[in-house]
A and B are shown apart, each in its own frame.
Chain A
Amino acid sequence: METTLPTAELPERHYLNQGQGIASWLLTKDHKRIAIMYLLGVTFFFLLGGIMAMLIRLELLTPQGDLLEPDTYNRVFTMHGVFMVFFVLLPVVPAILGNFLIPIMIGAKDLAFPKINLLSWYLYMIGGGLTMYAMVRGGVDTGWTFYTPFSSTYSNTHVMATAIGVFINGFSGILTGVNFIVTIHRMRAPGLTWFRLPLFVWGHYATSLIQVLGTPVVAIAIALVGLERLFHLGIFDASRGGDPVLFQHLFWFYSHPAVYIMVLPPMGVISELVAAFSRKPVFGYRIVAYSSIGIAVLGFLVWGHHMFVSGQSVYASVVFSVLTMLVAIPSAIKVFNWSSTLYRGSVSYETPMLYALAFLGLFLIGGLTGVMLATLGFDVYVHDTYFVVAHFHYVMVGGAIVSFLGGLHYWWPKMFGRMYPVFWSKLSALLVFVGFNLTFFPQFIVGYLGMPRRYWQYPAEFQVWNVLSTAGASVLAIGFLLPGCYLLWSLKYGKVAGPNPWGALGLEWTIPSPPPTENFDGVPVVKGEPYDYQTGEEIFGILGKEAHVV
């Protein structure tokens, strides 16, 4: 921020003020505006899911079930899972930061299919709207996994509306994935080879592959559940020779890779943050890029580890157990390479960097407990306990949400042209880190001691851990609400940021903040490796304005 010129002014024309009125937003084809609309939608669903989370934590404050009815509790944790997984974690980084940044980072004017991009947003909102309709009509109690035969035969709640909502939202993700794949393949600026791409783009490429390959499988699984409820097709109905476990196979074939949809783009964000605030190129750029693809590929081979106790063959379980542990290799490569990037770098502790460092710690714990859970014998012991709950919150919240906040704080001045208050943003980063650990670390312990998930009451000896967890959730809630306040404040009163407030490298920092609708004034060219902080050579230019174009 020291590099901000005191005379910095907002550009006269930018994407926010070109076109006024609600219609100019709802009919926009500008990837930047669509990203802002996603930001609003995701924030709304995050708030809903967060309220559900607080209800869960309040109920679990005491061993007795005294706040919610057991049936209500089932619905609350189901809606928490559905909103958070499908409507927050999946789109949070790709649809907001990816949408805004990928075309700019590769020097394009827009995504390859701007209309389809807008369609994705509408599908997302329609899917979310249907799920909200299910919620206000009484909700769903199947858990976010929709396991048959409960979801197909026995549940009398609004499974259909929720399933259709999730189905439609799936197509939003698929179309975004197709859009990113084509954009990254076909729209890169002259000189921007695959191995000059920012790692953020690599992460999104890997995620897009999973979205296109995996999401349709869960779509057909959910559709078959719907057909079973509506027309009595018996594909998962054991009373007619159908196999309910087949649903679990189809569901997890997508839903395990979906975890990598949630975490690969955040890993891309972390690569950008670590490089920018260490003033060093990412250590082992190529291997970090390949490890994204490695995680995406391996992610398709591990779904059976969700089914160790579902009647799956024990030999299959052993194979899945080993394959699951393999995922630790590309994940560890990333963590080691980020650490090596920090080593002897000029590290500065700006707010985005605080989130990146928080991510490193939280993802380490989430990842290592993942290896523990991959171990067949141990998983059978802690299956469906709070140990599992703590593990995937460390990966999904500690991974996806924390790095999203880091990325949002990093690119916020690019998106809106203004800085936020340093003190409050650092305070909220601290609150998120402390609150998060206080919420979920006790859950590892109480889960290991045997507290099962998805119950509204529990034995009294578990109370101390649950009180800690609820206290942590309250701190975490403040940590999440604070950015909402000061970021809104900054839109009007924040200091004008200028084009490159962090002194960072990347095509996005070569254009004004906020950027003009067409992003670049001409066709940008790239003449060097990414994150070249050390040689200080000019690696970006504009086609035709430079004599020596590589």
Chain B
Amino acid sequence: MSEAAHAHPGLHHQFDSYEQQRQSASLGMWAFLVNEVMFFGGMFLAYAYYRHRYGHEFAAGSHSLDISLGAFNTAVLIGSSLTMALAVRAAQMGRNKAIVAFLIATMVLGSVFLGVKVIEYSDKFEHHHVPGPSFVWHDEAGSGKYAGADPFKIQIYFSLYFAMTGFHALHMIVGIGIMLLMLRPAWKGKWNLDNHNFVEGFGLYWHFVDIVWIFLFPLLYLIGRS
């Protein structure tokens, strides 16, 4: 680390300017998100294929989910995206305490989402709606509407439900972990007008996780609910 590093705090040695550093960080995050899109894309492909084949069973499985919990979670997650955007704004203005406050708010909302997810998952376990040897299907929710649904094919719906929401939740847990690590540098004033790439990049990640849910909610909860 040369004198230049001291003259420009937060400017990494491989970059010539803050501008170059910011553009690199932003492009890197976008490229990483492209990778994430493809990662979830594999599951969305499987979803499209099986929904096409087993539309009736997917509607049956979808009816066993609690739509109000799903809607509540959607609102919570969109709220967390708002607080995240405010945290990014605070970082751009170098307001340390505001960054910390908004990060904590985002974490709280994220945790509420995960808590609701735990309730939903445990409900699935209680009703033996988890794919595997102990899977049992009674058509209570549809009250005979989905009489012909094949329980084996309904397991495909629940396989996708758990895989997609599970990987989504995993991304949220990782995100909350990263936010925990961000609290200290935020408090110490690491981010300022010149150097707030990290908060900005993380904001992109959090919004991405939010958008995945915006797709998951209708695809999993709202089948045949007209």
Contact = CB atoms under 8 A, between A and B. Distances in A.
To the question of whether A and B form a pair in one complex, the answer is: yes
A241 B39 CA distance: 23
A224 B42 CA distance: 10
Interface string A200-242: 0000000000001111110111011001000111110001111
A377 B131 CA distance: 41
A523 interface: yes
Contacts of A523: 16
A215 B35 contact: yes
A246 B54 contact: no
B24 A112 contact: yes
Contacts of A231: 130-132, 162
B193 interface: no
B45 A110 contact: no
A232 B133 contact: yes
Contacts of B159: 227, 233-235, 240, 242
A214 B53 CA distance: 26
Interface stretch (A178-186, A259-267, A290-298): A178-186
A240 B38 contact: no
Interface stretch (B25-33, B101-109, B182-190, B211-219): B25-33
Contacts of B163: 224, 227, 233, 235
Nearest to A111: B14
B86 interface: no
Which of A103, A174, A177, A239 has the most chain B CB atoms closer than 10 A to its own CB? A174
Interface string B4-16: 0000000011111
B20 A186 contact: yes
B14 A240 contact: no
Nearest to A179: B28
Contacts of B72: none
Contact of A250 (B42, B152, B167): B42
Contact of B14 (A109, A177, A185, A246): A109
Nearest to A186: B24
A114 interface: yes
Contacts of B46: 224, 235, 246, 250
A241 B150 contact: yes
Contact of A217 (B14, B42, B53): B42
Size class of the B contact interface (CB-based, 8 Å): 35 or more
B122 interface: no
A215 B39 CA distance: 8
B131 A113 contact: no
Given A182-B24, A221-B42, A241 B14 contact: no
Contacts of B15: 112, 187
Which of B20, B24, B49 has the most chain A CB atoms closer than 10 A to its own CB? B24
Size class of the A contact interface (CB-based, 8 Å): 35 or more
A350 interface: no
A102 interface: no
A108 interface: yes
B34 interface: yes
A179 B41 CA distance: 22
Given A233-B159, A241-B153, A182 B31 contact: yes
A9 interface: no
A224 B53 CA distance: 19
B155 interface: yes
Contacts of B42: 216-217, 220-221, 224, 250
B38 A214 contact: yes
Interface string B162-198: 1100110000000000000000000000000000000
A240 B20 contact: no
Nearest to A517: B13
Contacts of A223: 167
Contacts of B156: 234-235, 240-242
A21 B53 CA distance: 60
Given A186-B23, A235-B46, A178 B153 contact: no
A243 interface: yes
Nearest to A178: B31
A326 B27 CA distance: 32
Interface in A394-445: none
Contact of A113 (B20, B28, B153): B28
Contacts of B131: 231-234, 240
A241 B155 contact: yes
A235 B35 contact: no
A216 B49 contact: no
B7 to A, nearest CB: 16
B160 interface: yes
A240 B13 CA distance: 55
Contacts of B27: 181-182, 185-186
Closest A-B pairs by Cβ, 3 of them? A232-B132, A220-B42, A216-B39
12 contacts: A110-B13, A185-B27, A186-B20, A212-B32, A213-B34, A221-B42, A227-B162, A240-B153, A240-B159, A241-B57, A246-B49, A249-B45
Given A110-B13, A178-B32, A233-B163, 15 more contacts: A112-B14, A113-B28, A179-B28, A181-B28, A183-B24, A212-B32, A219-B39, A220-B39, A220-B167, A224-B42, A235-B163, A240-B156, A241-B57, A242-B156, A250-B42
